[in-house]
């Protein structure tokens, strides 16, 4: 039953793994983490938290210690079962991991993913996009299906879409190289790499 689209649940567990949080704060962080489009609504989040409570992945800890703020809030903590579920899901490098809706979330939690799983997810994602490109390139050239061949705007839209996907493929390739380079360097002790992940200044 919990095999399909547990994206939201997983993201919540991922955040709670770092620190307990209440719903309102959770929503803000989820919007930063997942959402480059629509914002998550409360009507989506709170019922999800209820489901997760019932599943035993999280527990309510009504903020009893009015330390910083005396505002009462319902704080959620991850349970050992929740940690296990998160670990299991995040470790799975199957199709679910490289679908459009899930990939970004999986990527965001890559720090808690082993190197080989990271690599397989990145490669699976690239494969998926590559297939999409192949389909697009073969169905496009002959004649637009929109009646007369080659509506200017339709053509331009498709050109831009293809370019966007190509760009993402290049990005993934760089990341894959970096992952492989990282592994190789770990193995042979070489700190250099051209395709490194940009590290934050510190």
Shortest approach of its own copies to residue 192 CB, angstroms?
Answer: 18
What is the C-alpha separation between 18 and 110, in angstroms, rounded? 14
Strand runs (DSSP E) across the chain, as ranges?
21-22, 58-62, 74-78
Closer residue to its own copies in complex, CB, 54/100: 100
Closer residue to its own copies in complex, CB, 7/155: 155
What is the C-alpha separation between 122 and 98, in angstroms, rounded? 8
Closer residue to DNA in complex, CB, 23/182: 23
Task: Please return the burial class of 196, using the count of CB atoms within 10 Å of its CB with bins 0-12, 13-18 and 19+.
Answer: middle
Closer residue to its own copies in complex, CB, 52/172: 172
Tell me if 128 contacts DNA by CB under 7 A.
no
Residues between 67 and 96 that touch DNA (CB under 7 A) = 69-74
Nearest to 23 by CA among 41, 7, 2, 5: 41
Residues between 100 and 119 that touch its own copies (CB under 8 A) = 100, 104, 107-111
What is the C-alpha separation between 17 and 96, in angstroms, rounded? 21
From candidates 6, 52, 96, 119, binder to DNA by CB under 7 A: 6
What is the C-alpha separation between 76 and 26, in angstroms, rounded? 9
Shortest approach of its own copies to residue 54 CB, angstroms?
Answer: 26
Residues that bind its own copies (CB under 8 A): 15, 18-19, 28-29, 32-33, 36-38, 100, 104, 107-111, 132, 136, 139, 145-147, 149-157, 159-161, 164-165, 167-168, 171, 175, 197-200, 202
């Amino acid at each position: 039953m919990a095999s399909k689209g547990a994206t939201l649940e997983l993201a919540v567990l991922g955040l709670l793994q770092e620190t307990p949080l209440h719903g309102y704060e959770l929503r803000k962080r989820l919007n930063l983490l997942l959402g480059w489009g629509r914002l998550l609504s409360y009507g989506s989040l709170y019922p999800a938290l209820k489901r997760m409570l019932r599943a035993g992945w999280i527990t309510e800890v009504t903020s009893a210690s009015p330390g910083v703020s005396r505002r009462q809030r319902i704080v959620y903590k991850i349970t050992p079962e929740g940690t296990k579920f998160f670990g299991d899901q995040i470790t799975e490098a199957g199709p679910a991991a490289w679908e459009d809706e899930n990939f970004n979330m999986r990527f965001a939690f890559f720090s808690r993913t082993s190197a080989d799983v990271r690599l397989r997810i990145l490669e699976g994602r690239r494969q998926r996009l590559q297939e999409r490109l192949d389909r697009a390139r073969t169905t496009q050239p002959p004649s637009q299906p929109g009646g007369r061949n080659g509506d200017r705007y339709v053509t331009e839209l498709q050109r831009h879409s293809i370019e966007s996907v190509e760009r993402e493929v290049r990005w993934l390739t760089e990341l894959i190289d970096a992952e492989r380079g990282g592994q190789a360097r770990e193995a042979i002790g070489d700190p250099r790499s051209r395709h490194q992940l940009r590290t934050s200044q510190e």
